[in-house]
Structure 1
Amino acid sequence: MDDIREKVRQAYTEAITSVSSGGVDISDMTVGNYSDEEARETGAASFGCGDPVRAALLKEGERVLDLGSGAGMDLILAAKRVGPGGHVYGLDMTKAMHDRARRNLDKLGLRNVTLLRGYIEDIPLHDGSADVLISNCVINLSPDKDKVFAEAFRVLTSGGRFCVSDVVLNKPVPEKLKQSPAAWSG
């Protein structure tokens, strides 16, 4: 599992460092999921595959956790939707993504966001800490999806929502690919 995590961390560190500071980069899988206005207003890169913020129908005052928050596009959109009475937590294992998200949040003056460094298999929040969980094409990168879902439901409030945009396979992954750290990071 550590080999896979390290390969994913390296791949996403390289991806974010290749985007100029303050530059907006949308991965091929994300094109069309955000409006041009949303991309401009966030000023953040996205390596996701959808728009879980829109699908989550966030309300003012809610507490949101973004699993694999990256450079902060979904964090920023969520923070604006929940307003100053709400709060958004962004969890990412990659220092370079965390640092870019912090710069993007500071530039916009958003104070209702807390960035957390760690793993989606071991969420550093109390039970029932979030009303809504969102994730944008990150769970597929975890070698222990059962642990991710167990943790997600642990930190969700009773009646909370979990809105995921991700990649799903319709057939089993060959064992050789499961054992290849490079295959996990795209």
Structure 2
Amino acid sequence: MGDIREKVMQAYTEAITSVSDCCSISDMTGGNYDERTLRETQVQSFGCGDPVRAALLKESERVLDLGSGAGMDLILAARKVGPSGHVYGLDMTKAMLDKARKNIDKMKLRNVTLLRGYIEDIPLHDGGVDVLISNCVINLSPDKDKVFAEAFRVLTSGGRFCVSDVVLNKPVPEKLKQSPAAWSG
């Protein structure tokens, strides 16, 4: 798992630190968000959907974003839950967390906490969040059973789990499973 994690961290560190002025924000987000959101936030996303919209967040809820990246979904979630709610962003990549901190500070959001760690070992207490979201990150983990066990551990009883991710229709060849480069795109 260590080689795969290292390769994924390297790939996403390079991706976030090599962003240039060559592309529009909508090019970098894959069309997952509406134009108004993109204009207002100007935040890059490596996700494959919009789990915040699907989660139907409410005022005062506590939300955890697994693999929070540069902070797009954190910003959207923080706005939805308002100042009486709270949003946690968990990412293993320091460069992503640094970028997220800049983006959150730019939006003057005070109800967001960034955490560095792994989605297989979430640094929150049992039942600590009402809603868990993730945007195209679980597929990057070699131990999905552990991710789901942790997700359900930190969710409150009756909590919601809203995921946008990649699903395979057939088994992955063993050679690709063992290739760290295949895990990071």
Shorter-chain TM-score bucket reads over 0.9
User: After superposition, where does 1:121-136 map in structure 2 within 5 Å?
Assistant: 121-136=120-135
Question: TM-score normalised to the size of structure 2?
Answer: 0.96
Distance 2:24 2:123 in 1: 29
The one-letter code of the counterpart of 1:119 is Y
The one-letter code of the counterpart of 1:5 is R
Distance 1:119 1:95 in 2: 12
Structure 1 position 115, deviation (Å): 0.1
Distance 1:20 1:114 in 2: 27
1:53-111 Cα distance to aligned partner (Å, 9 max, x none): 00000000000000000000000000000000000000000000000000000111100
What SS does structure 2 have at the residue aligned with 1:90?
Answer: strand
| Aligned-pair Cα RMSD in Å | 1.5
Does the CA contact (< 8 Å) of 1:68 and 1:90 recur in 2?
Answer: yes
The one-letter code of the counterpart of 1:32 is G
The one-letter code of the counterpart of 1:183 is A
What SS does structure 2 have at the residue aligned with 1:40?
Answer: helix
Distance 2:108 2:168 in 1: 39
Percent of matched pairs sharing the same residue? 84
Correspondence for 2:13: 13
Distance 1:160 1:55 in 2: 14
Correspondence for 1:111: 110
Distance 1:54 1:69 in 2: 15
Structure 1 position 43, deviation (Å): 2.0
Gaps of 5+ in 1: none
The one-letter code of the counterpart of 2:78 is A
Alignment coverage as a number of residue pairs: 184
1:145-173 Cα distance to aligned partner (Å, 9 max, x none): 00000000000000000000000000000
Question: TM-score normalised to the size of structure 1?
Answer: 0.95
Of stretches 87-96 and 30-39 in structure 1, the one that deviates more from structure 2 is: 30-39
Residue 183 of structure 1 pairs with residue 182 of structure 2? yes
Distance 2:68 2:77 in 1: 11
1:10-31 Cα distance to aligned partner (Å, 9 max, x none): 000011011249x964567x42
The one-letter code of the counterpart of 1:54 is R
Structure 1 position 134, deviation (Å): 0.2
The 1:27–1:167 alpha-carbon spacing in structure 2 relative to 1, beyond 3 Å, is farther
